[in-house]
């Protein structure tokens, strides 16, 4: 197997989703729908459209709905068939055929780095992708495909980044970049959630990574950092010092759908683009906006 072929993607989905409580008390955050599709399906479709064949989902307690979603649903299929709803039937069947799915339980939410480490035995000695299920990137070229393109040319770890406002850097892993070409940087260092005054740049890591298998050895030795969690950013900092790491500015509209406001904005954007809802929804929004601005003027 060539070290340049990336066939597997890890989707960590074992987090507690505290920003979205109480909705996430007993239901996975990753199953929240943007219009009619759960968040995690957007991520899986992005991976598949980028050439990924095997999807490894890291799950935990209360996350069974994710497995059920990507499984066959024989009873539902029979029902749709009997009712002659063939278009819906095909759509439902297609979900379980998207990729080869595999699930690993993270027994405790010990951090994103720990979640990635849980996939080691299924990845082996290959480069792999990591996609965070609550970061939705709406892009003409799938976000992961953009990173894979860089990976094939540059042969090093590749992190997806985007510029964020300076006051928001403390919500992200921030890279210390050395510009190589338009949108492409060599990563010299990374800082997890820095204060704006300490941030080395405003380029934030946005939930898409291509990583070499060496990251597992580093993760095993990474001590718990912020919040007592094993941070992927800490392991990436060590990796950046040992081998080549790049940051690529992903082209596309990113939504942090794990956050209530980000989720609402993503819902509006996807509803407006939806072929069967968009026109009516946009009429509703316009009339609602008029009412809001009238209220403000009063």
Q: Which residues bind ligand UTP (CB under 6 A)?
A: 12-20, 29, 58, 106, 109-112, 114-115, 132-134, 258
Considering beta carbons, is residue 127 or 133 the nearer one to ligand UTP? 133
Specify whether the CB–CB gap between 249 and 206 falls below 8 A.
no
In this complex, which beta carbon is closest to ligand UTP, that of residue 18 or of residue 253? 18
Instruction: List Cβ neighbours of 224 (8 Å cut-off, separation of 6 or more).
Output: 110, 111, 230, 231
Q: Are 39 and 32 in contact (CB under 8 A)?
A: yes
Q: Name the minimum Å distance from CB 263 to ligand UTP.
A: 11
Q: Which residue is nearest to ligand UTP (CB)?
A: 15
- Evaluate whether 185 touches 203 at the Cβ level (below 8 Å): yes
Shortest reach from residue 219's CB to ligand UTP, in Å: 12
Cβ-based nearer residue to ligand UTP, 200 or 262:
262
Q: How far is the CB of 129 from ligand UTP (least distance, A)?
A: 14
Task: Name the H helices within the chain.
Answer: 39-49, 64-69, 74-82, 86-96, 112-117, 120-123, 143-154, 214-221, 232-242, 260-273, 278-297
Q: What is the largest CA-CA distance in the chain?
A: 68
Cβ proximity to ligand UTP: between 86 and 107 the closer is 107
Toward ligand UTP, which CB reaches closer, 12 or 142? 12
Q: Name the minimum Å distance from CB 141 to ligand UTP.
A: 23
Closest separation between CB of residue 52 and ligand UTP, Å?
A: 17
């Amino acid at each position: 197997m060539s070290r340049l072929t990336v066939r597997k993607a890890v989707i960590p989905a074992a987090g507690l989703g505290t920003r979205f409580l109480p909705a996430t008390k007993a239901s996975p955050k990753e199953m929240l729908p943007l219009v009619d599709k759960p968040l995690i399906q957007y991520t899986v479709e992005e991976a598949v459209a980028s050439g990924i064949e095997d999807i490894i989902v890291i799950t935990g307690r209360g996350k069974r709905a994710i497995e059920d979603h990507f499984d066959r649903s024989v009873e539902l299929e029979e029902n749709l068939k009997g009712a002659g709803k063939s278009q819906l039937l095909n759509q439902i069947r297609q979900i379980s055929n998207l990729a080869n799915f595999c699930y690993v339980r993270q027994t405790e939410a010990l951090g994103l780095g720990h979640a990635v480490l849980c996939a080691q035995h299924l990845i082996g000695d290959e480069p792999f992708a990591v996609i965070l299920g609550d970061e939705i990137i709406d892009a003409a070229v799938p976000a992961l495909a953009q990173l894979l393109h860089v990976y094939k040319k540059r042969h090093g770890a590749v992190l997806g980044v985007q510029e964020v406002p300076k006051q928001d850097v403390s919500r992200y892993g921030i890279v210390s970049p050395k510009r190589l070409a338009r949108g492409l940087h060599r990563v010299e260092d990374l800082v997890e959630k820095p204060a704006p005054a300490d941030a080395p740049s405003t380029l934030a890591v946005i939930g898409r990574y291509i990583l070499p298998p060496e990251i597992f050895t580093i993760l095993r030795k990474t001590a718990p950092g912020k919040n007592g969690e094993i941070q992927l950013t800490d392991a990436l900092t060590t990796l950046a010092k040992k081998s080549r790491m790049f940051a690529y500015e992903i082209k596309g509209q990113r939504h942090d759908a794990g956050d209530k406001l980000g989720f609402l904005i993503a819902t509006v954007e996807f509803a407006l683009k939806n072929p069967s809802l968009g026109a009516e929804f946009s009429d509703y929004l316009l009339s609602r906006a008029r009412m809001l601005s009238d209220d403000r003027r009063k």
